[in-house]
């Protein structure tokens, strides 16, 4: 056994001569000097010897341990001095590298800006459930059973009467059900439609709707509010227009178009969303006197607003989480 002890000592010193970097030095320490290392195990085997052999074995084992430990410490100091001279030593007291904590997503940036604008205009913010029933999503909004918008191919139905909301207009119904006029709210949120995904369509997107109900409300009020919003969001020189349209829940109805330029400077009219005076049948559905009150509403797609403002040409870029794109905003 004494020969085995001597062999362990020689092997350790030979292995130590081959160590040239701190990582390898740590591996050596674990292998030979660690709690389960060969030299510690060697010391533990002394107790297995006869009383006559123990003294000599103990002296040899302690000698080997001392020699290996001293050689280890000398090499460790040498490597540390070498690192100091070459400037590679890590100073653990220095501040760490700053962690990139990311940025607010461009859709969230746009939504926050919109809510700030409408907040200055006196609008409160209202939210509603993403999973809706047909009454709030269609019936109360004067969208009849034969309307194309209720086709199963145009909605994400969960069962015969429950679906993922296809617009944020149900929030208007829920507010009018439980709130007496005057009402002045905006309703942001996600909506779902099984559209074919392309540069301008996505099966999930965000809308922002506005609703005003009070006595004497007219289209002049609506036009003024839309003009204030467009000029605050896109700039005071932005040109826009009303274009006659039809929505079951507003009468009269209109589309809002902006005159925007592309990268080449060519201008064209671009649709932004719909608006109109609240249809009296909608007031009847929620128990508001349509002889006393009038109201107007409009709805814009938040992705569409962001794309027009920042010159984004493909809606898919907003959802692909490509940092090269997102870090531009």
Instruction: Note the pLDDT of residue 288.
Output: 95
Those residues whose C-beta lies under 8 Å from the C-beta of residue 44, and which sit 6 or more positions away, are none
Tell me the H-state helices in the chain: 2-17, 22-28, 38-44, 54-86, 106-120, 134-137, 169-178, 219-234, 280-286, 302-310, 323-326
**Span 173-200, mean pLDDT?**
93
The larger pLDDT score, comparing residue 313 to residue 172, is at: 172
Instruction: Tell me the per-residue pLDDT of 1-22, one tens digit each, with 9 for 90 and over.
Output: 667 777 777 777 888 788 877 7
> Exposed, middle or buried by CB within 10 Å (0-12, 13-18, 19+), for 118?
buried
Instruction: Note the pLDDT of residue 129.
Output: 95
Instruction: Note the pLDDT of residue 79.
Output: 74
What is the rounded average pLDDT for all residues in the chain? 87
pLDDT at residue 268 is higher than 90: no
3-state class (DSSP) for residue 69: helix
Contact yes or no for 150/160 (Cβ under 8 A) = no
Lowest mean pLDDT among 2-6, 88-92, 119-123, 283-287: 88-92
How do the domains of the chain map onto residue ranges?
A: 2-86, 106-326
**Span 116-145, mean pLDDT?**
94
**Span 236-260, mean pLDDT?**
92
Instruction: Note the pLDDT of residue 87.
Output: 54
Residue 137 CA: distances (Å) to CA of 45, 147, 239, 290 = 81, 12, 33, 21
Question: What's the whole-model pTM score?
Answer: 0.67
Those residues whose C-beta lies under 8 Å from the C-beta of residue 295, and which sit 6 or more positions away, are 181, 183, 211, 212, 213, 214, 217, 277, 278, 283
- Looking at domain 106-326, its CATH architecture is 2-Layer Sandwich (3.30)
**Span 225-247, mean pLDDT?**
93
Lowest mean pLDDT among 71-75, 140-144, 163-167: 71-75
* Token representation of residue 45: 């085997």
pLDDT at residue 270 is higher than 90: no
Contact yes or no for 309/295 (Cβ under 8 A) = no
Residue 85 pLDDT class (50, 70, 90 cuts) = low
């Amino acid at each position: 056994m004494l020969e085995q002890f001597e062999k362990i000592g020689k092997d350790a010193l030979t292995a130590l001569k081959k160590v040239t970097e701190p990582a390898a030095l740590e591996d050596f320490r674990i292998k030979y000097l660690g709690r389960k290392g060969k030299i510690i195990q060697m010391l533990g085997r002394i107790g297995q010897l006869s009383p006559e052999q123990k003294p000599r074995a103990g002296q040899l084992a302690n000698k080997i341990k001392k020699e290996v430990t001293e050689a280890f410490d000398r090499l460790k100091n040498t490597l540390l001095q070498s690192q100091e001279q070459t400037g590679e030593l890590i100073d653990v007291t220095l501040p760490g590298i700053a962690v990139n904590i990311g940025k607010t997503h461009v859709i969230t940036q746009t939504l926050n800006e919109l809510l700030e604008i409408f907040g200055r205009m006196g609008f409160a913010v209202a939210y509603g459930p993403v999973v809706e029933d047909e009454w709030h999503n269609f019936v109360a909004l004067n969208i009849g059973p034969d309307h194309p918008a209720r086709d199963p191919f145009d909605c994400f139905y969960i069962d015969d009467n429950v679906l993922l909301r296809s617009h944020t207009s149900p929030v208007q119904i829920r507010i009018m059900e439980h709130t007496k006029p005057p009402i002045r709210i905006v309703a942001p949120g996600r909506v779902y439609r099984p559209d074919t995904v392309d540069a301008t369509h996505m099966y999930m997107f965000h809308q922002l709707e506005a609703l005003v109900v009070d006595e004497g409300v007219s289209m002049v009020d609506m036009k003024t509010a839309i003009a204030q919003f467009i000029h605050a969001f896109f700039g005071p020189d932005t040109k826009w227009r009303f274009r006659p349209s039809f929505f079951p829940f507003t009468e009269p109805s209109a589309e809002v178009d902006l005159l925007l330029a592309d990268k080449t400077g060519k201008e064209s009219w671009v649709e932004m969303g719909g608006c109109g005076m609240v249809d009296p049948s909608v007031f009847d559905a929620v128990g508001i006197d349509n002889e006393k009150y009038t109201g107007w509403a409009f709805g814009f797609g938040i992705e569409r607003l962001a794309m027009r403002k920042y010159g984004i040409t493909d809606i898919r870029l907003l959802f692909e989480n490509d940092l090269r794109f997102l870090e531009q905003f």
